[in-house]
Structure 1
């Protein structure tokens, strides 16, 4: 009798632990993301099966096979590395120029009006529209790609950062002045931390614009530096009617986007704006 009474709390405790475990899994953001991706993959597979035309819509499994084969036996890995190298160069250069422009605009009224005017002029201008000029000025190569990348990233990032600087509370500005901060120290110690949510938003938008511009530019330019990039890989396989390899190239773009979003930007947010209570999780 006593043994049965003792076993009941143990069984109840085990059941409660399992419920807590499943409850924690349901609340996990990673589990929800995997569930979303798995659902999309299943819908893709069903749509391809229903269409029954691999030339128009290869299945998810066919695309994954092409992706693996492209990484092992074709130039997908080297094409991705070439594109990422150019992307990072253009992206970092645009961020540097953006921070310089916004810092000058914050310190000087004339620079502020110049930045507002230039942003209004060039932000709506598609980077692809500058391809003919880039080819005329810099020729066919990496410099032309970096030029259009800088254009695609600079203006949205500068706009988001400048908006963040303008929304910094007056109390934060007064703290900086009371400590005697001026110039770069004032920007780095007061404005950037206070405007970090807007800056991170500009970084994300700039990264997405950079990827779009680079892939589109490589489709036109063909070869960047001495080898084709990811856009050229997609374009070449489209011409040869290897639709599964075209989708494999697109999947590679998406995978890199997911890695940067959830592996880099979310990590930065977790240790900065979310930890500081400036942004909800």
Structure 2
């Protein structure tokens, strides 16, 4: 009688599989960082292409400001708004700056929605060479939209009789808008990582939007304001972006030493206003850097 052969059980390896992980480092190579940033920026523009209402509204709103406020003050006495020949010429600088400011203030909303829908978590666990590409992509996207809006406003202002600055003046406008947008985008992205949800972020945007507009020289010169509001407007970063651009519209022979604003404590030159905006952008970036490092860790 032949014995029954019992098949041997396969040997089971109880050791867990080792999953290889690509280390994520903030010290990424330039090539990898640029590639990731461009890919994430492309994603934002694809979203804009599918839902262009944000860009359309961002162009229509400043045009309405120019048309309605220009018509409202078209019979204002000459000299009421400084050297401007018309209120449209005076208002153009304020509309350019406030439109860029409002767009940059909303920069944190896409990141906040990514947080709430879980897409940001997928990015944070992805093998990115540098997670700061997420922030860089958002900044590039907002800067591009701000430049598009600024071009439309400058063209519309020219049609309404405000004129167009020379080539050097247009370059200075681009630099001023860039510095303001970078600073406000940094603060908005910081809020997107700090606040619990989009409701709170929208509340902050609503609370700060109009007060900063009226506490600046966007709608009226400093000399038109009471003393306390002059002091507040002189501390507002928007005023340091508005007044140089307004000076460019009125003077073709501008220079860095040209006085663009008479603050309660000193005369602000064109170069001084640009330095204030540069310091504002740098301070905002330095302020959010530790926060982003903790969130990305």
Q: Which has the higher helix share?
A: 1
